[in-house]
Structure 1
Amino acid sequence: MARNLLKNPSGEEQLEFWELTENGGSQWKVEDMPGDCGHDFCSDGVTKYFVTSFELCMKRQVIDILAEDYSPEQLDAQPAVTVEDWYCGRTDCGCTYLMTVCLLDENHELIQDFKPEPVTLDPDSDDCSWKQVSHTFSDYGPGLRYISFEHGGQDAKFWDGWFGVRVTRSSVTVEV
């Protein structure tokens, strides 16, 4: 089974290993599951999540795949790269979720990306429970050396505090 190349995917180490690319409002925070007006996670073992604020909050990790013990030959064979993320909202405030994952070459030039449309969760029409987004890259050509994983969002009502989207159990795997 392929291992998760993201470090600290659920906030067990607060914001360690994440680059805060946007940190608006009350800024990023880590909370314990299920949190105020929240939902328990759908599987055991996930006890924390990251939560965004009333202004845009985005965080990123750039994975050096060669440093993770993959060879250039393995990567040039175009192994499947699977990214997953889990997000939810509060039951009392809507929010927006954003995600961008980029496959990059040795010069950090874009090979291929996955950028789904922003997701808006509205507690008036959605239960705002945990939802998964997943994508597998294939046939992207040789040269993969880095993977940039970025996600985040904000709340929809601009309430002061941490009422925005919640994210946890993010993963990036390379199947060789």
Structure 2
Amino acid sequence: MARNLIKNPCGEEDLRRWVQVQNGGNGWKVEELPGDCGAAFPRDEISKYFASSFLLCSKSQLIDLLREGYTEEQLDAQPNIVVSDWYAARTDAGCSYELKVQLLSDNHAVIREYNSGNICIPEKTNGSWKQMTYTFSQYGRGVRFIRFTHSGKDSVGWKGWYGVRVTNSSVSIKV
């Protein structure tokens, strides 16, 4: 099984290792599952999630693949790169969610990008968790970094943390 290159994927270390790109409203917050008006997560070992606020919240990690132990030869063979993120809305508030993952060269030029687009979750849902997954393949030579960014906000404008919830983020390389 390939290892997860995302550090602190579930908020066990609060917001450490994440760069808060946009910290709108009340910003990001780590909460315990299932949280107020939330649903249980499908895996028992996951106990926390990141909650966004009423204005856009966005956070990212930049993964240095050479520092993670991959060689240029391994990376230039274009192994599959699998990205995954779990997201959910509260049962009492709608929200929006977006995942963007960029494969970058040694000078941070974008080689390939995946963008889920803005996903709107209406109010009055059951709060169930959904998994977003994408596999990069045949993307070309020269990938040395990966930038993983997810973002969201609530659709009701309530002060606090009523926006999208995210957890169990992952990036793995199938060498």
Q: Give the Å deviation of 1:44.
A: 1.4
Q: Give the Å deviation of 1:165.
A: 0.2
Tell me the TM-score normalised to structure 1 length. 0.98
Partner of 1:166: 165
Partner of 1:67: 67
Does 2:15 match 1:15?
A: yes
Query: Could you tell me how far apart the structure 2 residues matched to 1:113 and 1:53 are?
Result: 26
Partner of 1:139: 138
Decide whether the 8 Å contact of 1:54 with 1:156 is kept in 2: yes
Partner of 2:56: 56
Partner of 1:2: 2
Q: Give the Å deviation of 1:43.
A: 1.1
Output one character per residue of 1:83-123: Cα deviation in whole Å (capped at 9) or x when no partner. 00000000000000011000000010000000012111113
Q: Secondary structure at the match of 1:128?
A: coil
- Aligned partner letter, 2:35: G
Does 2:90 match 1:90?
A: yes
Runs of at least 4 residues off by over 6 Å: none
Query: Could you tell me how far apart the structure 2 residues matched to 1:123 and 1:47 are?
Result: 24
Output one character per residue of 1:49-80: Cα deviation in whole Å (capped at 9) or x when no partner. 00000000000000000000000000000000
RMSD across aligned C-alpha pairs, in angstroms? 0.7
- Identity of counterpart residues, as a percentage? 53
Query: Could you tell me how far apart the structure 2 residues matched to 1:109 and 1:117 are?
Result: 21
Partner of 1:32: 32
Q: Secondary structure at the match of 1:49?
A: strand
Output one character per residue of 1:129-171: Cα deviation in whole Å (capped at 9) or x when no partner. 1000000000001101000000020000010000000000000
Tell me the TM-score normalised to structure 2 length. 0.98
Q: Give the Å deviation of 1:39.
A: 0.5
Give unmatched runs, 5+ long, in structure 2: none
Q: How many residues align?
A: 175
Q: Secondary structure at the match of 1:148?
A: strand
Q: Secondary structure at the match of 2:67?
A: helix
Q: Secondary structure at the match of 2:63?
A: strand
- Aligned partner letter, 2:13: E
Q: Secondary structure at the match of 1:67?
A: coil
